[in-house]
Amino acid sequence: MVRIGITGGIGTGKSTVCRILKCMQIPVYEADAKARELMESQPDLIRSIRELFGSEAYLDNHLLNRAHLAETVFKAPTQLEKLNRLVHPAVHDDFRKWCQRHETKHAVVAKEAALMLEEGKPDDLDYVLAVVCPDEKRIERIMKRDPHRSHSQIRNIICRQLPQNKMQQLADFTVVNDDAQPVIEPLLDILKKI
């Protein structure tokens, strides 16, 4: 089974690429969504997050206080690193189990995650595809999707993520998703090469 990583900064259109893959019957593991799920369902992970970020990390209904956590970690990169060191191993293990469930039914699976190449190419993937887009288009998309975010908040998030040119250097393939050129054809070409 071939495992493809789909990555890209906020607003680049990773979800669009993943929707296309799903339409092609390629299962997609959505690591960011799964991370949130694991942060609310794994007792050891919940305990570690509470120890690191305090009781405010969770709401009264035991759901993750995403707004508080986001504000905390994006103001202090060291806090984000600490959170990632807790969450990434849990996601890595969950992805491995997910792949085992799909390996007899699918020749190709994909893993979508915003943070994938920060420490080099992951060893649990065969290829990595970076989705890129000009920053102004990204900001426009994010403001439409997340009207509660300001232009400066979005710029701050983009600046804290791996630069797109670095992502392209580390990835095996790149798809430009700028709403001006097709996405499906380059994606099909990549899948043929794989």
Do 15 and 94 fall into the same domain?
Answer: no
Percentage helix, strand, coil, to 5, in the chain? 55, 15, 30
**Domain range spanning residue 40?**
33-105
Do 97 and 120 fall into the same domain?
Answer: no
User: Which pLDDT belongs to residue 109?
Assistant: 97
User: What is residue 79's three-state secondary structure?
Assistant: helix
Q: How many CB atoms lie within 10 A of CB 168?
A: 15
User: Which pLDDT belongs to residue 160?
Assistant: 83
Do 96 and 78 fall into the same domain?
Answer: yes
How far is it, in rounded angstroms, from Cα 183 to Cα 194? 17
User: Which pLDDT belongs to residue 44?
Assistant: 93
The residue among 105, 139, 168 that closes a domain is 105
Do 126 and 99 fall into the same domain?
Answer: no
Do 41 and 57 fall into the same domain?
Answer: yes
Q: What is the mean pLDDT of each run of 10 residues along the chain (194 residues)?
A: 96 95 97 94 94 91 87 82 91 95 94 87 93 95 91 88 94 95 94 93
Do 121 and 174 fall into the same domain?
Answer: yes
User: Which pLDDT belongs to residue 77?
Assistant: 75
Do 160 and 71 fall into the same domain?
Answer: no
CATH number at residue 10: 3.40.50.300
Do 138 and 91 fall into the same domain?
Answer: no
Do 76 and 64 fall into the same domain?
Answer: yes
Do 41 and 134 fall into the same domain?
Answer: no
How far is it, in rounded angstroms, from Cα 162 to Cα 7? 11
Do 7 and 75 fall into the same domain?
Answer: no
